[in-house]
Amino acid sequence: MPDPGAARAWVWVGVAALALAPLLPPTVPDSHVAVRGEAGCRLRPDRGGPECSCTELGARLRRVLGWPLDVNAVHADGLELLPGLGPVRAAAIRAERERRGPFRSLDELARRVHGVGPASVRALRPHLYTEDDPACASGRALCRCDS
């Protein structure tokens, strides 16, 4: 007869794995790229083609790809996709951006947005950017256009 304590431990391991899975960024195989066409953006195997601007991809697709979002361009609903940002903080970031202009750095979030402190900025740093899009600066064509 199996040990009930061991079985219970394996159940808890499974529960913990399921609970932590949404916190891990998804990965896309290197052989796939985001392709922008008339029907919008989608993933497909890389078969070549002209490169496109990665900045035009929507927030949801960028999150699926594990790419950061431009804090100065993303809408509040896109900000809500990030860990630790709910509707109130996302709306506060967007309102501050509209009121006083773009953020020059992520550290400005802590100084300008009530409810966002240095710890929040540290947690958000891998998910946001202010200057050059790191997804497009990777040295590999990540975005293609259908011709």
- Please report the DSSP string for 11-45 in residue order: HHHHHHHHHHGGGSPP---TTEEEEEETTEEEEEE
User: Rounded CA gap, 81 and 13, in Å?
Assistant: 26
Q: What's residue 63's pLDDT?
A: 79
Question: Which amino acid makes up residue 55?
Answer: T
Number of domains present in the structure of the chain? 1
Write out pLDDT tens, residues 83-103: 888 899 999 999 999 999 999
Strand-strand pairing, 143-145 and 32-37: parallel
Q: Where are the alpha helices (DSSP H) in 27-117?
A: 59-65, 76-79, 87-100, 107-112
Query: Residue 107: which domain range?
Result: 32-145
Q: For residue 59, give the CATH number of its domain.
A: 1.10.150.320
pLDDT surpassing 50 at residue 121: yes
pLDDT band at 141 (very low <50, low <70, confident <90, very high): very low
- Per the domain annotation, does 130 fall within a domain? yes
- Per the domain annotation, does 26 fall within a domain? no
Question: Which of 67, 44, 41 lies closest to 56, judged by CA?
Answer: 41
pLDDT band at 107 (very low <50, low <70, confident <90, very high): very high
Whole-prediction pTM: 0.62
- Per the domain annotation, does 38 fall within a domain? yes
pLDDT band at 144 (very low <50, low <70, confident <90, very high): low
7-11, 46-50, 73-77, 111-115: segment of lowest average pLDDT = 46-50
- Per the domain annotation, does 56 fall within a domain? yes
Mean pLDDT calculated for residue range 23-52: 61
- Per the domain annotation, does 1 fall within a domain? no
Cα-only R_g, the chain: 19
Question: Which of 44, 24, 48, 21 lies closest to 34, judged by CA?
Answer: 44
User: Rounded CA gap, 27 and 63, in Å?
Assistant: 10
Torsion of CA 61, 58, 119, 14, to 10 degrees: -20
- Per the domain annotation, does 11 fall within a domain? no
67-81, 86-100, 127-141: segment of lowest average pLDDT = 127-141
